[in-house]
Amino acid sequence: MHTSRTSRGALARLAPERTLRRLELAVTRRLDGLLHGEHVGLLPGPGTELAEARLYQPGEDDVRYMDWAVTARTTAPHVRDLIADHELETWALVDVTASMDYGTAALPKRDLAVAALAAVGFLTSRLGDRTGAYLMRGDGLRRWPARTGKAAIYALLADILTAPPQQASGRPSLAEGIAALARSQTRRGLRVIITDFLDQPADPQGRPDWERPLRRLAARHQVLAVEIIDPRELSLPEVGMVNVADPETGATYEVSLNRKVTDAYARAAAAHRRAVAAALRRAGAGHLQLRTDRDWITDIARFALRQRRVAGRGHRTLRGARP
């Protein structure tokens, strides 16, 4: 539930072209330097293409990449290095439904979603990836085909940034959006889910109904879930009687925001966030939280560096493994 539907924020007050130029500069100047050298900058991986065989170095090489054919032929152990994938496809599922037009801090959630998509798009496009998207709108899913180049990303971002506020009619569920993405885009690569995760009906086991399709998606692709949060969704002020509206359904209610209600709301909001985080872990997806009251560039950079440290520890462990 949200107390109001706000006007578009700081990003939308600028001309779209100027906004996108500023976004690109923010990404390339502040993020690209930090993330340079990894093909999928936000979720580093070892790559999958085989390079030339070379002699195995005990204690340094991963025995999983042993080339047994060359080893048998030469009688000396050989491994094949992996090189980063090239010309992958990055696909994003971006929530632009009515709840994403809400915001009480620096940006509405939809503008923050644009910023997150810009970070992914500009970073991957510079490495030659094609970037496409599915937009979850009030009137259904809309597909943007995967294309290379800055102009294609600009067009996609401008469409999201300038779209009018959405209505709830015909709105797809998050589970349907993820399933559509997995079903129609099979070429491996990075898949990014950008949403507030407020759409969370449960399956018969009591888990979010989007967890199962997300798990299937993550079985084939690298998946990054970007959770968009506004601080007013985490806690409410004690201001007495107010009218609140659900932006997805348009339903309005009169609620007394007293201490009992606000405490219960805070507990429920915290439990919801924990449930989202647990479901993403079970599905094997990376989880990045972006808040409308924080510096999104700093949060993305911290997330990426944390992922690198985790990947580095795992790589060192594998290299030290013995057959």
pLDDT in tens, 72-98: 888 889 887 554 445 578 899 999 998
User: Against a cut of 0.75, is the pTM above it?
Assistant: yes
Could you give the CA distance from residue 289 to residue 238 in angstroms, rounded to a whole number?
26
Judged by average pLDDT, the poorest of 4-13, 74-83, 202-211, 288-297 is: 4-13
Helix 174-184 to helix 211-220 angle (10° resolution) is 20
Confidence at 225, pLDDT banded by 50, 70, 90: very high
Position 1 pLDDT exceeds 80 = no
Q: What does the pLDDT read at residue 196?
A: 95
Q: What does the pLDDT read at residue 313?
A: 52
Q: What does the pLDDT read at residue 138?
A: 82
Assess contact for 245 and 5: CB atoms under 8 A: yes
Nearest Cα to Cα of residue 164 among 141, 138, 142: 138
Query: At 223, which amino acid appears?
Result: V
100-130, pLDDT tens digit by residue?
Answer: 988 888 889 999 999 999 988 888 776 677 8
Position 312 pLDDT exceeds 50 = yes
Could you give the CA distance from residue 99 to residue 246 in angstroms, rounded to a whole number?
8
Q: Classify 245 as helix, strand or coil.
A: strand
User: Left (φ > 0), alpha (ψ -120 to 50) or beta: where does 168 sit?
Assistant: alpha
Q: Classify 82 as helix, strand or coil.
A: strand
Q: What does the pLDDT read at residue 48?
A: 47
Residue percentage of the chain with pLDDT more than 90: 33
Mean pLDDT of 243-265: 86
Q: What does the pLDDT read at residue 47?
A: 46
Confidence at 181, pLDDT banded by 50, 70, 90: very high
Q: What is the average pLDDT value for the chain, to the nearest integer?
A: 80
Confidence at 228, pLDDT banded by 50, 70, 90: very high
Kindly state the tokens that stand for 47: 């790559």
Q: What does the pLDDT read at residue 244?
A: 82
Q: Which residues pair with 243 in a beta bridge?
A: 254
User: Left (φ > 0), alpha (ψ -120 to 50) or beta: where does 242 sit?
Assistant: beta
Judged by average pLDDT, the poorest of 5-19, 82-96, 151-165, 220-234 is: 5-19
